[in-house]
């Protein structure tokens, strides 16, 4: 087995679930995914048998709460999403320093331009994700090298 594949097989990326989520999302496995149709960013994916999750390839979450509102309106007290919860996704951004342009002394601040509150630079280079990151994923699609990923918190 090639060295790189050996390590990749040991890590499993968890899906990033929607914001405003209560403790358990088991009920989502059987929902019809109404949240997918109200998301203007079109980042909510619903597949049979698993809860809806977020895909940040084209955009990020703007915390409009429409997913939580339609869930609550449709399922009432059984709803998994609660619009009264804080604007935070149980995930964090990670920058791949091997592919990030700024880490190779190329002037690029695409991620910081998109999220000034959660990404800071040491001088002109070396971006760092701060604790204030909400996991929204808005920085992912603007990165010219696809160096940013959003990972679920376990």
Q: Residue 107 has what pLDDT? A: 96
Give yes or no: residues 74 and 53 share one domain.
Answer: yes
Does the pLDDT value for residue 100 go beyond 90? yes
Q: Give me the CATH number covering residue 116.
A: 3.30.70.20
Q: Residue 142 has what pLDDT? A: 97
Q: Residue 78 has what pLDDT? A: 84
What would the pLDDT profile of 18-77 be if each residue is shown by its tens digit? 999 887 666 676 788 899 999 999 999 999 888 899 999 999 999 999 999 999 999 888
DSSP reduced 3-state for 11: coil
Give yes or no: residues 41 and 103 share one domain.
Answer: no
pLDDT above 90 coverage of the chain, percent: 68
Give yes or no: residues 148 and 97 share one domain.
Answer: yes
Give yes or no: residues 113 and 71 share one domain.
Answer: no
| 48-76 per-residue burial string, b: 16 or more CB within 10 A, e: under 16 | eeebbbbbbeebbbebebbbbbbbbeebe
The mean of the pLDDT values for the chain is 89
Q: How confident is the model at residue 12 (pLDDT cuts 50, 70, 90)?
A: low
What is the total count of domains within the chain?
A: 2
The pTM of the full predicted model, rounded to 2 decimals, is 0.84
- Residues 51, 45: Cα–Cα separation, whole Å: 9
Q: Residue 10 has what pLDDT? A: 47
Nearest CA among 116, 36, 27 for reference residue 70? 36
Backbone angles phi, psi at 127, to 5 degrees: -65, 145
Please report whether residue 137 resides in a domain: yes
């Amino acid at each position: 087995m090639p060295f790189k594949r050996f390590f990749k097989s040991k890590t499993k990326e968890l899906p990033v679930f929607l914001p405003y989520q209560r403790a358990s999302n088991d009920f989502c496995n059987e929902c019809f995914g109404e949240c997918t149709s109200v998301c203007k960013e079109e980042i909510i994916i619903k597949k049979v048998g698993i809860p809806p999750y977020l895909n940040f390839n084209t955009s990020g979450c703007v915390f409009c709460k429409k997913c939580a509102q339609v869930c609550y309106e449709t399922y009432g007290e059984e709803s998994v999403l609660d619009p009264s919860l804080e604007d935070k996704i149980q995930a964090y951004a990670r920058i791949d320093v091997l592919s990030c342009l700024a880490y190779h002394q190329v002037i690029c601040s695409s991620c910081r331009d998109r999220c000034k509150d959660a990404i800071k630079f040491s001088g002109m280079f070396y971006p760092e994700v701060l604790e204030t990151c909400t996991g929204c994923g808005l920085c992912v699609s603007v990165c010219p090298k696809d160096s940013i990923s959003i990972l679920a918190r376990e």
